[in-house]
């Protein structure tokens, strides 16, 4: 794979992009500013975006003159259309392991790292804490509950 920097003026947004991404632009811009442009924009053979509309908007917001791109010029028009949809949809199939997420966030917090750069707000982090606390209480309550068979009186 060859990644090449190209002027922003040569990158063409896909006019039928169904993903509403304006709310993600600020956090992606923060990410690019902090970590650099680590995920290229994927273009078709006509320089039209297949994946990376949010990164393009973030680059514009940051005033960048060029962006890294990867051409997926080996795909058919049907594959390009399907890949655009799959690229956005695939993230909906993933879940978080909240215990591990909390550990990672706590380690960053202990290092005084700006947790806003993770994409999680303080409210998000508080909600993780509350969810985990409720799960612990639920397990504790289940352990304390004594079950009795209504037929024979066996306790477990």
The residues pairing with 5 across neighbouring beta strands, listed in sequence order, are: 68
- Residue 156 inside a domain? The answer is no
CA distance 62 to 59: 5
Asked if residue 139 has pLDDT above 70, the reply is: no
Asked if residue 140 has pLDDT above 90, the reply is: no
Q: Which residue has the higher pLDDT, 149 or 143?
A: 149
Write the CB contacts of 81 (distance below 8 Å, at least 6 apart in sequence).
none
- Residue 155 inside a domain? The answer is no
Q: Let me know whether 77 and 120 are in one domain.
A: no
Q: Let me know whether 39 and 61 are in one domain.
A: yes
Q: Which residue has the higher pLDDT, 132 or 2?
A: 2
Angle, CA of 74, 75 and 81, to the nearest 5°: 155
Q: Let me know whether 72 and 109 are in one domain.
A: no
Q: Let me know whether 78 and 27 are in one domain.
A: yes
- In this structure, what CATH number is given to the domain that contains residue 83? 3.90.1530.10
Per residue in 95-110, pLDDT tens? 888 889 989 999 999 9
Per residue in 63-88, pLDDT tens? 999 999 999 989 999 999 999 999 98
Q: How confident is the model at residue 152 (pLDDT cuts 50, 70, 90)?
A: low
In the chain, % of residues over pLDDT 90: 57
> Are 47 and 11 within 8 A, CB to CB?
yes
Locate tokens 């982090």: which residue?
Answer: 125
Domain that holds residue 110: 98-144
Measured distance between the N- and C-terminal CA atoms of the chain, rounded to whole angstroms: 60
């Amino acid at each position: 794979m060859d990644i090449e920097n190209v002027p922003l003026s040569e990158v063409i947004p896909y006019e039928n992009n169904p993903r509403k991404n304006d709310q993600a632009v600020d956090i992606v811009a923060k990410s690019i500013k902090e970590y650099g442009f680590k995920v290229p924009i994927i273009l078709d053979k006509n320089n039209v975006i297949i994946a990376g509309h949010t990164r393009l908007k973030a680059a514009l917001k940051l005033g960048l003159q060029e962006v890294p791109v990867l051409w997926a010029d080996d795909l058919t028009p049907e594959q390009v259309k399907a890949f655009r949809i799959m690229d956005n949809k695939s993230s909906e199939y993933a879940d978080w392991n909240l215990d591990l997420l909390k550990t990672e966030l706590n380690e960053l917090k202990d290092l005084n790292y700006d947790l806003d750069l993770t994409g999680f707000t303080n409210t998000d982090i508080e909600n993780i804490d509350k969810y985990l606390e409720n799960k612990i209480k639920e397990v504790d309550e289940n352990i304390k509950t004594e079950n009795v068979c209504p037929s024979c009186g066996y306790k477990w």
